[in-house]
């Protein structure tokens, strides 16, 4: 008897044994480059017969961090891309992303305070030089894009939580009086590293009246959005405070950022708004310690957010500050190709952050026009790609990677300790169901024997694939 025939006979025997003994069938969905969200049958929970020979072991009693949820960032170019589609189609997309139990189940999302690199243009909410009382503060710009974008999401998920951070303060609050840190720089046209040339400097004017006014600016933002029916539950003081960019950005030293937060914290506490340390894009424990160990600041910080090279700092914070809720705040944005290599990289990012304590995972661009070009010329990936010529759209491979987690892992779930097979994570939902996500990035099918308690499953993972298994 040849090996192939023996394999199939063994599979048939496995299924017959499971059916005859009333064993539970496992819900199983997979994604490959050519087949997304494919449902499988024929996998059953079986009793453990030996104490060895397992590729992966899950420990249901050993709980790690709590998973609070998943989401993405509301950017202006996300809404303008969706505006190319018929209203009914756009509504279908928003339902898929935000409606509970439908698709991605997004429940925690990010938004900018003023312009970012995926805004329609550079702007702030008050460009009146010297208006320290914020008399001319206005969110009128956002009524065309961000407010309808978020409002539509909240229509599908009224419990959606929003946090916010600025990429840049009003330009008159900066020493260079410009939204960008390096306004004249072109992509890949700077001497040295465009992000780090001015790292370790303060671009924000280091004067008490400016810091007081800027904290009031945050407060006015919270109040104005509340009047539009959008509650913000948390703010971070600055996006990537070490990075000098040719789009809206502002560098701060860690000590200066902590000083600003002594003004920001009371302004936010008046409104019961949480404070995040972030967003952290450097693997520097010293910068983190400087802020968290500041006696006037550290005790008020509830969360820390990491992105890009900050991913190499999250394990340190998870170990040394166990009471903080850790966020992955912006998934690395790709190259606009939205191909399988980007999807595999996304899987590895999710595995890294979730394995190192992240309780929230935020993707970056929700939707972009085909090509994904930013306001300043960088092609980036997104969850949805809109073809403006055919007035059509598609969900990208990265969307399905994220959905493999967010569709099944419920808010409040616990990550479980695992050993063995490296490309595997497991979670315990509050309803008692176990969610296992696994990837195979080899060019061949592999069989993975997964044990938990006195149970085992042994799925065959097709070449270059991502899988989710749900055991209820």
User: How high is the pLDDT of residue 153?
Assistant: 98
Is 104 in contact with 98 (CB distance < 8 Å)? Answer: yes
- Digit-by-digit pLDDT tens for the chain (472 residues) are 444 444 444 444 444 444 445 689 999 999 999 999 999 999 999 999 888 999 999 999 999 999 999 999 999 999 999 999 999 999 999 999 999 999 999 999 999 999 999 999 999 999 999 999 999 999 999 999 999 999 999 999 999 999 999 999 999 999 999 999 988 765 444 344 545 568 899 999 999 999 999 999 999 999 999 999 999 999 999 999 999 999 999 999 999 999 999 999 999 999 999 999 999 999 999 999 999 999 999 999 999 999 999 999 999 999 999 999 999 999 999 999 999 999 999 999 999 999 999 999 999 999 999 999 998 889 999 999 999 999 999 999 999 999 999 999 999 999 999 999 999 999 999 999 999 999 999 999 999 999 999 999 999 999 999 999 999 9
| Superfamily of domain covering 69-410 | Glycosidases (3.20.20.80)
How far is CA 373 from each of CA 10, 49, 341, 430, rounded to the nearest angstrom? 51, 55, 19, 41
User: How high is the pLDDT of residue 248?
Assistant: 96
Its CATH architecture, for the domain 3-64+415-471, is: Sandwich (2.60)
User: How high is the pLDDT of residue 21?
Assistant: 52
DSSP code for 325:
E
Which tokens belong to 121?
A: 């243009």
User: How high is the pLDDT of residue 185?
Assistant: 62
Rounded Cα distance between 334 and 344, Å, is: 11
User: Between helices 208-227 and 254-269, what is the axis angle to 10°?
Assistant: 40
Q: What is the pLDDT of residues 206-256, one digit of tens each?
A: 999 999 999 999 999 999 999 999 999 999 999 999 999 999 999 999 999
User: How high is the pLDDT of residue 19?
Assistant: 47
User: How high is the pLDDT of residue 196?
Assistant: 53
- SS3 label, residue 45: coil
Nearest to 149 by CA among 328, 329, 364, 366: 366
Is 288 in contact with 317 (CB distance < 8 Å)? Answer: yes
Burial label for 339, CB within 10 Å (0-12, 13-18, 19+), is middle
How far is CA 277 from each of CA 178, 218, 286, 293, rounded to the nearest angstrom? 24, 15, 14, 12
User: How high is the pLDDT of residue 376?
Assistant: 83
User: How high is the pLDDT of residue 34?
Assistant: 98
Which tokens belong to 108?
A: 């925690």
The residues spanned by each domain of the chain are 3-64+415-471, 69-410
**Strand runs labelled E in 118-178:** 161-165
Helix, strand and coil content of the chain, in percent to the nearest 5, comes to 30, 25, 45
């Amino acid at each position: 008897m040849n090996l192939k025939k023996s394999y199939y006979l063994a599979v048939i025997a496995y299924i017959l044994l499971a059916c005859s003994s009333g064993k539970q069938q496992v819900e199983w969905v997979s994604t490959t480059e050519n087949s997304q969200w494919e449902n499988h049958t024929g996998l059953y929970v079986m009793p453990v017969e030996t104490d060895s020979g397992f590729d992966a072991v899950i420990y249901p009693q050993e709980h790690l961090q709590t998973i609070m949820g998943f989401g993405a960032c509301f950017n202006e170019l996300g809404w303008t891309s969706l505006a190319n589609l018929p209203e009914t189609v756009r509504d279908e997309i928003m339902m898929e992303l935000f409606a509970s139990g439908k698709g991605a189940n997004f429940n925690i999302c990010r938004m900018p305070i003023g312009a970012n690199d995926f805004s329609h243009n550079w702007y702030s909410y008050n460009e009146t030089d010297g208006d320290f009382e914020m008399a001319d503060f206005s969110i009128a710009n956002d009524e065309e894009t961000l407010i309808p974008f978020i409002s539509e999401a909240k229509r599908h998920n009224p419990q959606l939580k929003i946090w916010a951070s600025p990429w840049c303060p009003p330009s008159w609050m900066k020493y260079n009086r410009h939204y960008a840190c390096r306004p004249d720089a072109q992509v890949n046209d700077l001497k040295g590293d465009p992000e780090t040339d001015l790292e370790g400097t303060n671009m924000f004017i280091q004067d008490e009246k400016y810091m007081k006014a800027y904290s009031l600016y945050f407060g006015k933002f919270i109040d104005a959005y509340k009047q539009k029916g959008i509650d913000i539950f948390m703010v971070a003081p600055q996006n990537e405070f070490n990075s000098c960019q040719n789009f809206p950005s502002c560098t701060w030293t860690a000590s200066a950022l902590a000083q600003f937060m002594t003004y920001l914290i009371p302004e936010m506490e008046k409104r019961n708004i949480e404070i995040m340390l972030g967003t952290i894009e450097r693997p520097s424990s010293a910068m983190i310690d400087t802020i968290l160990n500041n006696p006037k600041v550290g005790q008020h910080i509830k969360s820390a957010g990491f992105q890009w090279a900050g991913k190499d700092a999250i394990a340190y914070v998870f170990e040394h500050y166990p009471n903080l809720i850790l966020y992955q705040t912006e998934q690395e944005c790709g190259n606009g190709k939205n191909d399988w290599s980007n999807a595999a990289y996304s899987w590895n990012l999710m595995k890294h952050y979730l394995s190192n304590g992240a309780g929230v995972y935020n993707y970056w661009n929700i939707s972009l026009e085909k090509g994904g070009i930013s306001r300043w010329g960088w092609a980036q990936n997104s969850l949805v790609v809109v073809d403006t010529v055919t007035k059509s759209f598609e969900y990208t491979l990265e969307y399905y990677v994220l959905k493999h987690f967010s569709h099944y892992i419920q808010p409040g779930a616990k990550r479980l300790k695992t050993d063995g097979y490296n490309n595997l994570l497991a979670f315990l939902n509050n309803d008692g169901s176990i969610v296992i996500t696994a990837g195979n990035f080899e060019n061949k099918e592999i069989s993975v024997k997964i044990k938990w308690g006195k149970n085992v499953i042994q799925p065959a993972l097709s070449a270059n694939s991502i899988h989710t298994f749900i055991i209820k």
